A = this chain, B = another copy of it.
Amino acid sequence: MTLPRHASEETIASRLDRFAIETPSWGYADTGTRFGKFLQAAAATTTEEKLADAGQVHRFTGCCPTVAVHVLWDFPEGQDPATVAACAITCGVRIGSINPNVFQDQCYKFGSLGNRDEAVRRRAIDHICRSIAIGEAVGSDLLSLWFADGSNYPGQVSIRRRKRWFAEGLREIHESMPAGMRMLLEYKPFEPAFYHTDIADWGMAYALARHAGPRARVLVDTGHHLPGSNIEQIVAFLIDEDMLGGFHFNDRKYADDDLTMGSIDPYQLFRIFFEITSAERDRGADLDIAYMIDQSHNLKPKIEAMIQSVLAAQGLFTRALLVDHEALEQARRQDDVVAAERVLLDAYETDVRPFLAEYRRARSIPEDPLTAFRESGYSAAAAAERGPRKKSDGGAYA
């Protein structure tokens, strides 16, 4: 085996056993950019197909037991939520976080919880409360909230008034949650709003979560930051404030590019995991963080992309676990910047692929999940069945 001497394979393997990543139902469907959507014959269309695909990812990786669901797309009005939960079980997965959608309907053109029209705000809150009920019905304890609310032009709205509507609405939603449920509040600097976004950064999410109630936490989407943001510092800060609720993982080079994990800046993801594993070491316990993938790209096959992200996450999390904390402490005590940095790099540069292959073998998971999935023939079968039903529907343009 190739792990450095100070690392305990057993401890690492045991922590990996408790490292699960949730995949999103919408990540199995065709997506695109405003310039158009490139269809994949094998991509899922129905909720059943999405859950089946998620089941494949779990089957080949062993660490994706839950699926984030999108209320609007996965739980059409009038359908019994239990059906979806049962379907998930059939596919070998469970329902994870519940994601309401208050951005797509035409009524949300000028916002949801921040809309100046009380009726629209009411409708948004009601939809979220219905989502909470669905969550209860399917055994989920996570309400994951993203708001597209914002404005496109200076003067268009009153920023302060909307902030108050958000505070009020979130308080009401928090009160509607059952005792065991947590609210995760996401932030994003821009897109689809291009002048101001009501919850634009972690500070706003933090303040609003505090105002909402004791079970509200901040959700960090790694793609939702301005250029240069030190995301691992935000993570460390939120951990220390006991306000980090979870992640939406993806990678990016420019804006919210929604690429697969670790594809652009793997060292950054390693550093995020390093902050988490350091805090866990200090506390002697795992942190209660929801790890979720939220990527949206249109070139890679959906299931393969998801497996690739999961493997990247697992590999980088493992490397973060390899950090020699004692050596690090010693270097830091002497302000030995070179040595301290070297400790991190030593962990990062370790090739953990052999270890992970053995780890998987011991758990009856394919050593190389991606190749195994490719060889399973699942995609070809899905393409044959699903492809003929598809037709392009253009982009947001023209």
Residue numbers of A with Cβ under 8 A of B are: 2, 26, 29, 31-39, 70, 72-73, 103-104, 106, 109-110, 116, 148, 151-160, 163-164, 189-192, 194-197, 200-204, 206-207, 226-230, 232-233, 236-237, 239-241, 252-255, 257-260, 263-268, 271, 274-275, 278-279, 282, 296-301, 304-305, 308, 315, 328, 332-333, 335, 337-338, 340-345, 348-351, 353, 370, 392-398
Residues of B close to A157: CB separation below 8 A = 332, 340
Residues of B close to A154: CB separation below 8 A = 232, 263-264, 267, 271, 274, 341, 344
Contact call B155/A343, Cβ cutoff below 8 A = yes
Contact of A36 among B104, B116, B237, B341 (CB under 8 A): B104
Contact call A299/B206, Cβ cutoff below 8 A = no
Contact call A155/B344, Cβ cutoff below 8 A = yes
Tell me the complex Cα distance, A124–B159, Å.
38
Q: Take A34-B33, A206-B207, A299-B337 as given contacts and tell me if A395 and B396 are in contact as well, using a CB distance cutoff of 8 Å.
A: yes
Shortest 4 CB-CB distances between A and B: which pairs? Answer: A203-B203, A227-B227, A32-B396, A155-B344
A338 shortest CB reach to chain B, Å: 5
Contact call B395/A116, Cβ cutoff below 8 A = no
Sample (6) of A-B pairs whose CB atoms are under 8 Å apart: A26-B397, A29-B398, A155-B341, A160-B236, A300-B338, A301-B338
Contact call A395/B104, Cβ cutoff below 8 A = yes
Interface centre among A39, A157, A253, A279 (most CB of B within 10 A): A253
Q: Take A104-B395, A152-B299, A203-B202 as given contacts and tell me if A370 and B192 are in contact as well, using a CB distance cutoff of 8 Å.
A: no
